[in-house]
Amino acid sequence: MTTSAPETRAPARPLRASPDLYRAVWRWHFYAGLLVLPFLIWLAITGGLYVFKNNIDGFFHARLLTVGAAATPAHAPTQLAAAALAAHPGALIKYTPPATATRSAEALISTTDGERLAVFIDPYRGEVLGALPDGGSVAWTIRKLHSLKYFGKVARGAIEIAAGWAILLVLTGIYLWWPRGQKGGVVTVRATPAKRVFWRDLHAVTGLGVGGMLLFLAVTGMPWSVLWGNQINQWANGNNFGYPAGVRVQVPMSQLKLADGETTAWSLQQARIPESGHEGHEGHEDHDGHSGHDGHEGHSAHAGHAMADVPPQPSALSLDQAVAAFDQLGLAPGYAVQLPKGPQGVYSGSVYPADLSRQRVVHLDQYSGKPLLDMNYADYGPMGRALEWGINVHLGMEWGVFNQALLAVTCLAIVLLCVSAAVMWWKRRPAGGLGVPPSPANRKLQAGVFALLLVGGAVFPLVGASMLVMALIDYLAFARRPAQA
């Protein structure tokens, strides 16, 4: 960006080769910042906090989550679930065995009052430690604030628009930062905070340092967006019962989705749940005794064809037997068990740990205990694996403490980027004016820059629509007026 400080006028000379292009890009960078900065600050603060979700919940909910290790064996899952139901009558939806020797068990209950409660039980003493509304922990509250889920789809659509404009902000910012012969304000900060050039340089240098991560966070956040994310998910995973390409699913499927009962991996949001009570499954066994499928050696088979008109077996597995089966199959600690929904329902064990290679979902026939479908991260297609990896980094789960530290520093830098932009604008704007950068004299060039931006807008429809609205406002309110310096 140009500055008003005398010592910075000399570097502006190279801009005379294409001043209109610079002005056109600057104008759209300004509009992007005008729309995005409040959202970026919100996302940076809430996102930076959520990175430490385990620490936050461990602090605020220590009484519910942690227990003292005991020499006596843990109670059976059915006993612990019965204790939870005795304290909060209703129906058991999901049971999570203790992940470690000092962790409580968790039972998700749909109470008789219609509330969904997460009830925590001491596995050694069988005592109910307390309960929280489903998704009501401090960390989950921060996550829902981060996505504006509390405020409905319109607000979540605004977050999607902000993420798209953040991408525009980074790309146009790179063009404006490009040195063009100047020595100061490229990787160093000149002057003092009293001068606008200080805030200009601080903004440029901070943007240079954090721009790549901001771009990464905006792109990897898009899969969860309310419109684009939902559409791309259905396109990527909406076929073959919602399972990724290469996964052989040849068992009868219900209309229930895995995502209906829990938070699941992005690649499995469209995955439907198999039905129990069908014998005659075909498939092959691997050397570990798990079912396998084509194209993934050593992974599970997705069971074969069902015989028609075979009634369900009369007795179903108990929760104890289902948990024992999942343990025998080797699901990573921390897995959750969804209970069967009706006579054709299945026991579903799922776990999404920080180690992506240990992500896994297994559906058991509730009568025979046989795995109907057993799938892990390696079974996702290339797009699914790439997106899951990006989401894992976005959540601070991929590289342990380093990932958390990287995101925390990034979020602090994003706040600094926004604050420096606001101060720089405030110092630059004329009294009583908005301080919109001057319009290019060449209107065709301005239209060309806008057309280029709309290419990205076509990929993200909500963002493209907002660009058209912003262009109309610019034309009606500013373009026909004298330029504001």
Residue closest to 146 by CA, chosen among 168, 162, 165, 134: 162
Helical H runs in 242-340? 319-329
Give the angle 138-144-150 at the CA atoms, nearest 5°. Answer: 115
Helical H runs in 103-151? 138-146
341 near 377, Cβ under 8 Å? no
C-alpha span between 191 and 195 (Å, rounded)? 6
Q: How far is CA 349 from the centre of its chain?
A: 22
Q: What is the pLDDT of residue 263?
A: 81
Q: How far is CA 89 from the centre of its chain?
A: 34
Q: Which helix (H) or strand (E) holds 171?
A: helix 152-177
pLDDT digits 0-9 by tens, 197-213: 999 999 999 999 999 99
Domains of the chain by start residue, with CATH: 16-51+144-225+403-479 (no CATH), 74-136 (3.10.450), 246-380 (no CATH)
51 near 395, Cβ under 8 Å? yes
In which residue are the tokens 């290679």 written?
357
97 near 76, Cβ under 8 Å? no
C-alpha span between 205 and 427 (Å, rounded)? 18
Residue 3's region, left for phi above 0, alpha for psi from -120 to 50, else beta, is beta
C-alpha span between 47 and 35 (Å, rounded)? 19
Q: What is the pLDDT of residue 246?
A: 65
Give the β-pairing of 272-274 and 253-257.
antiparallel
Looking from the CA of 54 toward its CB, the CA atoms found within 13 Å total: 10
Burial class (CB in 10 A: 0-12, 13-18, 19+), 309: exposed
Give the angle 320-325-326 at the CA atoms, nearest 5°. Answer: 100
Q: What is the pLDDT of residue 480?
A: 54
C-alpha span between 179 and 191 (Å, rounded)? 18
Residue type, 454: L
C-alpha span between 216 and 393 (Å, rounded)? 10
In which residue are the tokens 């092959």 written?
284
Q: What is the pLDDT of residue 288?
A: 38
- Beta bridge partners, 96, equal 106
Read off the tokens for 201: 């340089």
Cα dihedral: 409, 413, 414, 420 (round 10): 170
Phi/psi for 24 (5° steps) reads -65, -45
274 near 252, Cβ under 8 Å? yes
Read off the tokens for 82: 């019965």
Q: What is the pLDDT of residue 52?
A: 97
CB atoms within 10 A of CB 131: 21
Q: Which residues contact 230 (CB under 8 A, 6 or more apart)?
A: none
pLDDT digits 0-9 by tens, 423-466: 999 998 888 778 888 888 888 888 888 888 888 888 888 999 99
Read off the tokens for 205: 């240098």
Q: In the chain, which stretches have pLDDT less than 50? A: 1-17, 280-310, 312, 482-485
Read off the tokens for 243: 């399972």
- Beta bridge partners, 106, equal 96, 120
336 near 346, Cβ under 8 Å? no
252 near 279, Cβ under 8 Å? no
pTM over cut 0.95: no
Q: Which helix (H) or strand (E) holds 376?
A: strand 371-376
Give whole-number Cα distances, 259 to 1, 143, 242, 335, 469, in Å: 47, 17, 11, 15, 35
